Amino acid sequence: MGRAPCCDKTKVKKGPWSPEEDAKLKSYIEKYGTGGNWIALPQKIGLNRCGKSCRLRWLNYLRPNIKHGDFTAEEDNIILNLYISIGSRWSIIAAQLPGRTDNDIKNYWNTRLKKKLLGKRRQQEDLNGSTLSSSALERLQLHMQLQCQQQPQQNPLSLFNNQTLWPHKLHPFLQDRLIQHNDFQTINPIQFEDLDQISSPNGSASSETSNGVDNNNDDNNMMSTNMDSNGYMGMERISSFQAELDQLLGGNDNSGVNEIEGISGWWSNDSKSTNWDASTNLQTESALYQNYAN
DNA sequence: AAAAGACCCAACCGCTCCCGG
DNA sequence: GCCGGGAGCGGTTGGGTCTTT
């Protein structure tokens, strides 16, 4: 038994908004506000639209100070960093980009930014003759989705300061997520098997059985499968993953194809950024999570 | 010039969250 | 504490526009 719909879908108008409808909605909200009730709003104005549709139209198009048009390199940078940090939380990402809407950013990511990154990756693979099976970006996304599902309460800033745990450089959020997500092979062995091949071509690092199921699915999984006796977790894997991301984002090449300036800063080999608690590197993310937690 | 395919984006849908009664 | 309804969110879709053949 589903819940009652917010309006009678057969009686309200759907599809693109006319200039008249826009004008009605805009002038009413500018005069009286939304009144805290979008569902009742169309009736008050005399619009034959669903309240949700009115809300969307206002937020994504009619609201003042909405920015349309091309995204700047700085905006690309912010979107990318936040996407890698928190995944497809478009409303949170939008909150960091004044004038941009979540819908806008979502569309921009899906239609352009992702392709821009993946396209560059393909270009580099062609040049190198490399045949990596799937993009680090997509794997990273999957990884983050799984992470969020499994440990939604986890503080993403919890581990990145520990350089004993992380002798190599990697963005703290990635490291945090990787080390927490210790059973990633168990969850989706197919998705991650090529990662094994990068760091261990004969596949010996994996404890996977022939049917693709990892038997090391216990609380000590990280220790048993991904850490050696010194407590280091699959660093070959992580560093090759990092290298792949570096390459993807142009951090290690000088070919001039780095379309998005600055994005490689926090995972570059620049000695200036070795201290992960440096506020310069993490100010944005820290502020973000602070805001989000509030 | 026209057809086909690719791209883009506004809008919709269905779900969860949140809050008031 | 429970329930119902509105708000908000993210994924998806439909159709207009642009590009390629």
Question: What is the CATH classification number for the domain harbouring A100?
Answer: 1.10.10.60
List the domain range (segments joined by +) for residue A50.
Answer: 19-62
A55 is a domain residue: yes
Same-domain check for residues A37 and A72: no
A250/A265 Cα distance (integer angstroms): 11
A15-CA/C14-C1' distance, Å: 9
The two counts, helices (H) then strands (E), for chain A are 14, 0
DSSP class of residue A145?
H
Asked if residue A106 keeps its beta carbon closer than 7 A to nucleic acid strand C, the reply is yes
Asked if residue A13 keeps its beta carbon closer than 7 A to nucleic acid strand C, the reply is no
Same-domain check for residues A47 and A88: no
Task: Give strand letter and number of the nucleotide nearest A38 (CA to C1').
Answer: C6
Q: Which residue has the higher pLDDT, A66 or A275?
A: A66
Q: What are phi and psi of A214, to 5 degrees?
A: -85, 125
A196 close to A205: Cβ distance less than 8 angstroms? yes
A49 is a domain residue: yes
DSSP string over A49-76: S-HHHHHHHIIIIISTT---SPPPHHHH
A5 is a domain residue: no
Q: Is it the case that residue A10 has pLDDT exceeding 70?
A: yes
A159 close to A165: Cβ distance less than 8 angstroms? yes
Which domain-ending residue is among A46, A62, A78? A62
Same-domain check for residues A78 and A116: yes
Protein residue nearest nucleotide B6, by CA to C1': A111
A7-CA/B12-C1' distance, Å: 13
Which domain-ending residue is among A103, A121, A139? A121
Nucleotides of C under 7 A from a protein CB: 5-12
A181/A241 Cα distance (integer angstroms): 14
**pLDDT at res. A124:** 54
Work out the average pLDDT over A120-132: 49
Asked if residue A142 keeps its beta carbon closer than 7 A to nucleic acid strand C, the reply is no
Work out the average pLDDT over A155-170: 35
Chain A window 221-240, residues with Cβ within 7 A of nucleic strand C? none
A29 is a domain residue: yes
- The pLDDT tens digits for A173-201 are 444 444 343 333 333 333 333 323 323 33
A72 close to A78: Cβ distance less than 8 angstroms? no
A116 is a domain residue: yes
**pLDDT at res. A8:** 75
Q: Is it the case that residue A262 has pLDDT exceeding 60?
A: no
Q: Within 13 Å of residue A241, how many CA atoms lie on the same side as its CB?
A: 24
Asked if residue A284 keeps its beta carbon closer than 7 A to nucleic acid strand C, the reply is no
DSSP class of residue A271?
G
Q: Is it the case that residue A5 has pLDDT exceeding 70?
A: no
A161 is a domain residue: no
Q: How many domains does chain A have?
A: 2
Same-domain check for residues A85 and A100: yes
Q: Is the pTM of this model over 0.75?
A: no
DSSP class of residue A273?
G
Which domain-ending residue is among A76, A103, A121? A121
A89/A82 Cα distance (integer angstroms): 9
Residue A28 class from Cβ within 10 Å (0-12 exposed, 13-18 middle, 19+ buried)?
buried
What share of chain A in percent tops pLDDT 70?
38
Asked if residue A104 keeps its beta carbon closer than 7 A to nucleic acid strand C, the reply is no
* Locus of tokens 């759907």: A14
A138 is a domain residue: no
Q: Within 13 Å of residue A67, how many CA atoms lie on the same side as its CB?
A: 13
Nucleotides of B under 7 A from a protein CB: 7-16
A252-CA/C12-C1' distance, Å: 36
Q: How far apart are the first and last CA of chain A?
A: 35
